[in-house]
Homo-oligomer: A and B are copies of this chain.
């Protein structure tokens, strides 16, 4: 057990995502010792993972070292650690880097891909919730294009050139758009021998519309954009199986494909040790309106791993960056109130709007009462995402990549730096 160097209360935050980082920042001047734990040494800007997966930007541009964010914050410590268990009886977090006692614990572990218990899908489809997984997708796409070039068997080549994205939320829509643009702008340039081959892009969504969390105009327009870009869309159907070659949909459709990207669901990343009765549907921790986990006085949960259950918001909040950011910021105030014996205030979500980008000059936006689609939404999407990236150099480098990609309709980032072994669905451990 580590020693606590002073008598200030210690807040241990698990997870350096949007919520955890925001909370730690806002505790800067509080008489509190802040310890942030994460299994990565960097914060990931998840909204742009799909651009890493499709080679538009570099992986390093959407990661920012956590130590760099907090360089000057005196009450802050970061440890790189995997959390093994939470012992709420003794108020201890057990990790690969050692055990840490806490006065207050904040679980900000986010969400991971949900395969809904289907192990075959978990094994054969490609999730995209972190940088490593995005790079795996980038490698898979590029490796399969290369393979298609030297495959004589037409059925095999067609399967290598068929891309199925499962899930019609923002991630699925953005991936389908980006892969369709690879076909439109890059295929003939970089793979002239595949120019006349029949590369196919499918998007499969269980609900009757795409972007179901957005307005009807956004959903309708997104579908229209994608259809114009020759993406085949299946709405109101589900994938029933995929064995690495044959994808079956429950409307009877069978697709031969070597590329299935899974963006059909998420579940909270609840650490081991949290009792079952604290976990709601979707693997989220049930919290009250100040983000305190059900049944605990000193354990909190924010962001994607939390499900706020309050009378004011019976449906909870969406799993988006804005909720995590605002909950982190609000919990910083409430923690200071609790420590100084003052009254806490319930969390209120301010919906700043939702956007999704489909392609070049094409995005959809719902900003409060304003619903708009097309070029202006696309400009706004870029502007907001650029400004949200951590660090000046990341902003500058992503901007530069976007400008070059826009002008050349191509990118220099399509490198296979992680060789993906499609037989075992793992990464090569040999330097390649």
A432 touches B132 (CB 8 A): yes
Chain B residues whose C-beta falls within 8 Å of the C-beta of A430 in the assembled complex: 426
Q: Which of A18-26, A60-68, A263-271 contacts B (4 or more CB under 8 A)?
A: A60-68
CB distance from A221 to the nearest CB of B (A): 31
Given A97-B150, A146-B80, also A190-B415 (CB < 8 A): no
Are A189 and B71 within 8 A (Cβ)?
A: yes
Cβ contact within 8 Å between B150 and A412: no
Interface presence of A391 (CB below 8 A): yes
Residues facing B in A45-66 (CB within 8 A) are 58-61, 63-65
Task: Mark each residue of chain A from 93 to 108: 1 if its CB lies under 8 Å from any CB of chain B, else 0.
Answer: 0000110000000000
Q: Which residues of B contact A131 (CB under 8 A)?
A: 415, 417
- Chain B residues with CB below 8 A from A401, complex form: 393, 397
> A interface, how many residues as a size bin?
35 or more
**Residue A142 CB within 8 A of the other chain:** yes
CA distance A153 to B417 in the complex (A): 36
Residues of chain B lying within 8 A (CB to CB) of residue A135? 417
Given known contacts A71-B190, A392-B404, A401-B393, is B432 in contact with A39 (CB within 8 Å)? yes
Question: Within 8 Å of chain B (Cβ to Cβ): is A340?
Answer: no
Contact present for A42 and B416 (CB under 8 Å): yes
Looking at chain A's contact residues, the main secondary structure is mixed
Instruction: Give chain B residues whose Cβ lies under 8 Å from the Cβ of A432.
Output: 39-40, 130, 132
Verify B150–A68 contact, CB threshold 8 A: no
Please, which residues of chain B bring their CB within 8 A of the CB of A42?
A: 415-417
Q: In the bound complex, do residue A68 and residue B190 qualify as a contact, i.e. CB atoms below 8 Å apart?
A: yes
A136 CA to B429 CA, complexed, in Å: 11
C-alpha spacing A397/B150, complex, angstroms: 34
Q: Verify B132–A431 contact, CB threshold 8 A.
A: yes
Chain B nearest CB, measured from A398 CB (Å) = 10
A39 to B, closest residue via Cβ: B432
What is the total number of copies of this protein in its complex? Answer: 2
Nearest B residue to A95 by beta-carbon distance? B150
Q: How far is the CA of A130 from the CA of B135 in the complex (A)?
A: 18
Residues of B within 8 A of A394 (CB): 412
For the complex formed, measure the closest distance between the CB of A68 and the CB atoms of chain B, giving whole angstroms: 6
Give chain B residues whose Cβ lies under 8 Å from the Cβ of A98.
150
Q: Does A396 sit at the interface, judged by CB under 8 A?
A: yes
Which residues of chain B have C-beta atoms less than 8 A from A191's C-beta?
Answer: 67
Give A40 to B80 CA distance when docked, in angstroms. 32
Chain B residues lying within 8 Å of A415, measured Cβ to Cβ, are 40-42, 59-60, 63, 65, 131
Separation of A64 and B404 alpha carbons in the complex (Å): 14
CB distance from A106 to the nearest CB of B (A): 20
Residue of B nearest to A61 (CB): B58
A-B contacts, 20 listed (Cβ < 8 Å): A42-B416, A58-B397, A59-B59, A63-B415, A65-B190, A65-B412, A67-B190, A67-B191, A71-B189, A77-B193, A79-B149, A79-B150, A97-B150, A130-B431, A132-B431, A135-B417, A392-B404, A393-B412, A400-B400, A427-B429
**Minimum-distance CB pairs A-B, first 6:** A132-B431, A426-B429, A80-B146, A67-B190, A58-B60, A63-B415
Nearest chain B CB to A280 CB, angstrom units: 26
Chain B residues whose CB sits within 8 angstroms of the CB of A41 once the complex forms: 142, 146, 414-416
Mask of A411-426 contacts with B, CB within 8 angstroms, 1/0:
0111111100000001
For residue A133, CB closer than 8 A to chain B, the reply is yes
* Minimal Cβ-Cβ distance residue in B for A132: B431
Q: A64 contacts B412, CB within 8 Å? A: yes
